[in-house]
Each structure stands twice: as C-alpha cells, then as structure tokens.
C-alpha cells in the first residue's frame, strides 16, 4: 500500500471517530408497496420530505412474504412496508413517530406499524373528511406495545 492510500485511510478513520454517529446512520428509505397502490406514494413523499431523505418505491408482488420475514404481525398489516435505518415501518406511520422510534430504539422492538389504512393518517388524508383515530404499535419477536395514539 502506498503512502497516499495510507494517509487517506487514516483521514477517513479520524473523521469517523470525530463525526457524530447519526451522521453516518441516516440512510435512504426503501418502500415496498402492493403494486399500483396510490396512497403509498403519497405517504412516501410526505415521509421523505419530513425526514429529509430520498425514498425509493418498489412495486413488490411478493410483499406478503417480505412482511412475514420481517416479523410484522398479521394484525398490523397495511399496503406498504418501509425499511428506514434497519427499522421496519408498516403502513401509514407519521414521521414524528418514526423519528422518535429510531432515536429510542426500544429494546426488543424491531419496528412500528399502523394497521390498515385509517382515514386521516399520513397519505390517507381526505379533504372535508374527519380523520379517524388510530394507534401506532411497536412490535418485536412475539410482542406488541402501544407506541402512540392519534
């Protein structure tokens, strides 16, 4: 290895030691949706803007198998599944709840979900219609817990 390469590697290592960990943790958003679902794109655009990250949408005809592999409980299923910083986000979860979950990383929990498609949740807003109350649930292997109410 030549001297220039050694110096570059040393500089990268030094930067990683001094830079805040969250500067490297933020990643793009990958959204797997049922093919052709329109509300998923609306949710992804809102979340992308509010989290300041790029969202990539994938029409996934095998999303059901993905949801099962990621451990999303059947009762919390929706029309799209996102992966953000290694966290599973199922359905129309608000950005503020995603930020709080990622920051807290509750022990034993792998993701958060809004089951179904509640009217008034992000991506499901309908002008002139009153939003329905809904809950955001945290989940992990064999367990669920209330994370937020809206």
d(CA 117, CA 92): 7
Q: Could you give phi then psi for residue 124, rounded to 5 degrees?
A: -120, 20
30 closest CA partner among 20, 15, 40, 17: 40
At residue 16 the predicted structure's pLDDT band, cuts being 50, 70 and 90, is: very low
- Residue 114 vs residues 17, 46, 118: alpha-carbon distances, Å: 37, 16, 8
User: How far from 131 is each of 117, 118, 123, CA to CA, in Å?
Assistant: 11, 8, 12
Map out the domains of the chain with their CATH numbers.
Answer: 22-149 (3.40.30)
Model confidence at 81: pLDDT above 80: yes
- Indicate the SS3 state at residue 111: strand
Q: Is the pTM of this model over 0.75?
A: yes
% pLDDT > 70, the chain? 83
Question: Residue 43 and residue 20: Cα distance in Å, rounded?
Answer: 29
Assign residue 126 a region: left if phi > 0, alpha if psi is -120 to 50, beta otherwise?
A: beta
Question: Please, is 21 exposed, middle or buried when counting C-beta atoms within 10 Å of its C-beta (0-12, 13-18, 19+)?
Answer: exposed
Structure tokens, 66: 């993905």
pLDDT digits (tens, 9 = 90+) for 126-142: 999 999 999 999 999 99
Structure tokens at 18: 């001094």
């Amino acid at each position: 290895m030549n001297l220039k390469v050694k110096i570059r590697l040393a500089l990268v290592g030094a930067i990683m030691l001094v830079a805040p960990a969250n500067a490297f943790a933020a990643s793009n958003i990958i959204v797997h949706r049922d093919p052709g679902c329109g509300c998923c794109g609306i949710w992804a655009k809102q979340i992308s803007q509010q989290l300041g990250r790029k969202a990539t949408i994938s029409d996934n005809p095998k999303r059901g198998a993905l949801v099962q592999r990621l451990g999303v409980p059947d009762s919390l299923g929706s029309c799209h599944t996102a992966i953000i910083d290694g966290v599973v986000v199922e359905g129309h979860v608000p950005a503020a709840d995603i930020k709080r979950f990622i920051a807290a990383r509750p022990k034993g929990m792998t993701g958060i979900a809004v089951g179904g498609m509640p009217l008034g949740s992000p991506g499901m807003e309908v002008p002139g219609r009153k939003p329905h109350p809904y809950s955001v649930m945290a989940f992990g292997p064999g367990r669920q817990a209330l994370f937020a109410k809206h």
